Amino acid sequence: MKRSHIIAIVIIAVAIGALVGSLYDSSTYADLGQALSNPGKEYHVVGTLDRSQEIVYEPSMNASLTSFSMRDLQGRTCRVHLAKAKPQDLERSERLVLIGEANANGDFEARDMLMKCPSKYNEENKVEG
pLDDT, tens digit, for every residue of 4-61?
888 989 999 898 887 776 665 556 788 999 999 999 899 999 999 999 999 999 999 9
Q: What is the DSSP letter of 90?
A: G
Quick one: pLDDT band at residue 126, thresholds 50, 70, 90?
low
pLDDT at 99 over 50: yes
* Domain spans, the chain: 28-119
Mean pLDDT of 85-102: 91
Taking CA atoms, 103 is separated from 39, 40, 74, 78, 109, in Å, by 5, 6, 20, 11, 7
Q: What is the three-class DSSP state of 103?
A: coil
Whose CA is closest to 42, among 111, 121, 123, 122?
111
Taking CA atoms, 91 is separated from 12, 56, 82, in Å, by 48, 12, 15
Say yes or no: domain 28-119 is CATH 3.40.50.10420: no
Range list of H helices, the chain:
3-25, 32-37, 120-128
The pTM for the full model equals 0.70
Separation of alpha carbons 67 and 81, rounded Å: 5
